[in-house]
Amino acid sequence: MTGETTQIGDMAALHQHSKKDDTESLVQRDESTAESSNPSKMTVHTDRWRVLFSFAVLSMSSAWIWITWSPIVRPAAAFWNVPLGQVDALAGIYLYVYVPCSFLSLYLVVNCLGLYNGLLVGALFNVMGAMIRWACLRSYQMVYIGTLLCAVAQTFTLSTPPLIAARWFGNSERATATGLGVLANQLGTAIGLGATIVVEFGATKDETSPFLLDASKLRAYLGLQAAVAMTALFLISVFGSEEPPATHDDGLETHQTEPTQTEQSLLVSSQSSQEKSIRLNNRPKYIESVGRVFTSVNNIAYVLSFGMAVGVFYTIPAFISQMTPLSWSPRSNGWLGVFYQVFGAYASFQTGRIVDVSQQHRRVCLTLLSVASVSLVALFVAQTLLEAETWEKNAVVFILISLVGSSLAAWNSVGLELGTGIYHPANEAAVGGVLEAAAELFGFLWVLLGGQLIETPIMFLALLAGVISVAGMILFQLDTRMKRPL
């Protein structure tokens, strides 16, 4: 009897020891899960950079096609024998098409197509439009139709950087990823504005003759744009993806296997992590997300602040060749456009890194708007006081316009990221679509006003400086606390 009791006691001790081992294993697994869910230590899917790169090529192509005619407005008008306003309309079409079409496009992306298929559709529209522009160069009407298709393509891509960042990147990389997505668009604009630096579009260099476009050179240029658009479609089809395989929150890569009976108990301990993942998958759909943006005066005011300021950023490149003296060559205007966009691209990337480290979205955004406003006021003063065209005035124009571009470009990327945090848990693409729609709408308004005021550039600068100042004052009064966990 004593032996049996001892044997039972040994079995109980063995069972207790086994239970203790399971408990310790469970604790270790919980610690591992908690550590992996920590944004500062998280492991994210390695394909995220390929996904972002394929999108970046598409976004760059779209922006390059958009700004094609801005550095050569006057010779393009002579080439087609149309007024200057009709050439400006080839850039303006992107602004007014985005507002109505983006709501349909993003509804399809969020509710029906998904991120990957939506980008494929956008890339396909971009290729079709670029090919029409190349094949029908001599017809303004056909170039307009091709540009219209490219403008529709942009409605699938312009507001997706925050969604890509949310799907594929961790919290410590989100602002940087969004900044890189926006940066690609700015680099495309820089390429378009700087094309006149390396490409001599003129058919004659005789100073007594008007500047005429060389049709063969222009056709080759548009052919290159079409080739890049096709490359973007290929990259999206190969490297694009809906989301990382088997992901938890913020793109954490996991390897799921069929659990054994012993491991069933471990699933209970990770219930909170699973609930968080389910919550993310059950975020509001497109209509609900858009409705969330308009639930309060504070939310609507943020849309106005973002749209007014980013609209200025989109407007300036369309008028660069008309904001400079008539004596400036297309190459000089190209250099100015490159400085404007490249400084902006660099600022977007660096500001994204600063925000990822500091998480001070509001403070950074207010600083950026202040720099843009002060730079435009200084440019207005310089244009007023320095009437004679000297190298000093040219240098001041280059520096100040570059400052405006860098600060507003950074505000574009950081403002998108701040907006997705304010409107959390709304879908990032839906929020980005509303914000970008506001920017395009205001940009179109500033283009219309600019067309009336551009004959007196000082008045145009005064308008833009006032707009940025008002946008900054609105932002300063708002509650911009992040609803998304940091």
Distance CA 42, CA 169 (A): 10
Which range is most confident: 255-259, 362-366, 388-392?
Answer: 362-366
Q: Which of 253 and 485 is assigned the larger pLDDT?
A: 485
Q: Is the pLDDT reported for residue 249 higher than 80?
A: no
- Integer Cα distance of 29 and 66 in angstroms: 52
Q: Domains in the chain: how many in total?
A: 1
431 or 3, greater pLDDT = 431
Percent of the chain with pLDDT over 90: 13
Q: Give a yes or no: residue 21 inside a domain.
A: no
pLDDT of residue 264: 42
SS3 of residue 351 by DSSP:
helix
pLDDT reported for residue 280: 45
| Nearest residue to 58 via CA among 158, 143, 171 | 158
Distance (Å, whole) CA 285 – CA 7 = 62
Q: Is the pLDDT of residue 257 over 80?
A: no
> Which residue has better confidence, 287 or 45?
287
- For residue 30, pLDDT over 50 is answered with no
| Domain with 184 in it | 45-247+283-477
Query: Which one, of 445, 481, 484, 437, lies nearest residue 159 by Cα?
Result: 437
**Could you tell me if residue 17 is inside a domain?**
no
pTM: 0.66
Residue 136 lies in a domain: yes
Is pLDDT at 248 greater than 80 in this prediction? no
Kindly state whether residue 39 falls inside one of the protein's structural domains. Answer: no
Write down the pLDDT at residue 278: 43
**Residue 143, pLDDT above cutoff 90:** yes
Tell me, yes or no, whether 3 lies in a domain.
no
In a domain, 22, yes or no: no
Whether 260 maps to a domain, the answer reads no
Lowest-confidence segment of 34-48, 79-93, 198-212 by average pLDDT: 34-48
What is the percentage of the chain residues whose pLDDT exceeds 70? 74
The verdict on residue 7 lying in a domain is no
CATH of the domain at 321: 1.20.1250.20
Q: Mind giving me the DSSP string for 405-428?
A: HHHHHHHHHHHHHHHHHHTTTS-H
Q: Which position has the token pair 């600022």?
A: 347
- How far is 14 from 6, CA to CA, in rounded Å? 12
How many whole angstroms separate alpha carbon 194 and alpha carbon 339? 9
